[in-house]
Structures are given as C-alpha cells and as structure tokens.
Amino acid sequence: MAQYSRLEVARVMKDTGLVPLFFHSDIEVAKKVLKACYDGGARLMEFTSRGDFAHEVFGALNKYAIAELPGMILGVGSVSDAAAASLYLQLGANFVVTPVLREDIAVICNRRKVLWSPGCGSLTEIAAAEELGCEIVKLFPGGTYGPGYVKNIKGPQPWTSIMPTGGVAPTKESVESWFNAGVTCVGMGSQLISKEVIANEDWAGLEKTVSNALELIKVARE
C-alpha cells in the first residue's frame, strides 16, 4: 500500500521540482543510487520497470526507503498496463508513471488514490488525461517537443501541470528554459544518473549533481 496520497505526492513534485529516474537490476546498486539522490535533496524517485524481475528489485528498494530514508517517495515508471500497475501498487508504489495515456491504469490508480502521470504529446491527450483525474501530466518525450511547446499549452490551459521527461539536463540553460516555460517539475534520467556514475560508483558525485540540479531549479523559479 502507498505511504503517500496522490495529493501529497503532487505537492512534493511541485515543491522540489525534480523527479530522478533510473533502473538497475542490482538491489545494492539501486540502494546506493537512491541514497545519493536522497542525500542530495531529492524526495522522489521514479524506478523504471524495464528489466526482468524489476518488480522484485522495486519491492526491496521500497522497503529500504521506508526503513532508512524518511520522506523519500518511491514510485514506478514505464508501466504499460493495469496488471503491472496493480502489481506495483501491491509493492507500495507511491506513484505510477506511464509512457502513454491508458485509461485502465487511471482507473486502477484512482481507486487507490495513487498519483499517476501518463505520457502525453498532444493537447487532446493532455485534456483526456486531466478528465481522467491526472494531477501532473508527463510530457514525453520532452526533448521532441521542447519548452516552447509547454508555453503554448499553458496559454489556453494555464491550469495544466506538466512534467517533461527526456531531453532535460541538469544544466542552467536546460533548467531555466523548461521552468521559464511553465513546467511544474522535470524528470531527469541518464543525464542526471549516468552510466559513468554507476560504473565508477561515484555516489558523492551523484549527490552533488542532484544538489546542484535542485539549486538550479530553485533559482529558475525565482
């Protein structure tokens, strides 16, 4: 069962502005990545369901977060259908992110009052997601659309909360362009948690990168 309601998760997404995302099949590596992000100030993590037995790693990682990292909200990404969403909800997922808009996943998550964020591209998809109760829409792939697209969406729909994922980097230029366009938060994957960081076990470096990204977000919002 989720530890946080969808409104609580949405608030933390808006407050921090950053959702790191990653996948690793080794639970010990996953714990170190999560701990480094936590120490850097992140309070959300999207664990992407992309490998065999990913749900087993997620379950162990969520137990670790609950026991050792107070206030850390662990969710799951790359969920493709309602069955997978139900499985992860049983493992305590606090939010569910999908690459596409699926009504069956919306029903499952809404029933449990768990935040779900579907990948949308068109204004029609975004409106449909909001009609299904979506709090924060995932713009995916973000790099394909760019900050200008967000600005154009916010014109006719200023109430829409958007989280671009893909094409967002932990740099001043990237962060400023997205937040100036009006995003609520951003999802960062390999540009934040790189293969090199994991290969070199540079957890201190990852902590610093996350901390710097959060500071850039804070400044951009000011």
Look up the pTM and report it. 0.96
Fold of the 6-216 domain = TIM Barrel (3.20.20)
Cα gap 118→112, rounded to integer Å: 16
Kind and range of the H or E run holding 57: helix 54-68
Q: What's the chain's length in residues?
A: 222
DSSP string covering 139-178: ETTHHHH-HHHHHHHHTT-TT--EEEBSS--SSHHHHHHH
Phi-psi region of 171 (alpha: psi -120 to 50; beta: other; left: phi over 0): beta
Q: Is residue 62 within 8 Å of 74, Cβ to Cβ? A: yes
Q: Is residue 65 within 8 Å of 34, Cβ to Cβ? A: yes
Residue partners of 22: CB distance under 8 A and separation at least 6? 30, 33, 45, 46, 47, 48, 189, 190, 193
Q: Which pLDDT tens digits describe the chain residue by residue (222 residues)? A: 999 999 999 999 999 999 999 999 999 999 999 999 999 999 999 999 998 999 999 999 999 999 999 999 999 999 999 999 999 999 999 999 999 999 999 999 999 999 999 999 999 999 999 999 999 999 999 999 999 999 999 999 999 999 999 999 999 999 999 999 999 999 999 999 999 999 999 999 999 999 999 999 999 999
Q: What was the pLDDT predicted at 51?
A: 86
Q: What was the pLDDT predicted at 93?
A: 98
Instruction: Tell me the torsion sign for CA atoms 102, 105, 110, 114.
Output: negative
Q: What was the pLDDT predicted at 15?
A: 98
φ and ψ of 44, to 5 deg? -140, 150
User: Domain coordinates of the chain in residue numbers?
Assistant: 6-216
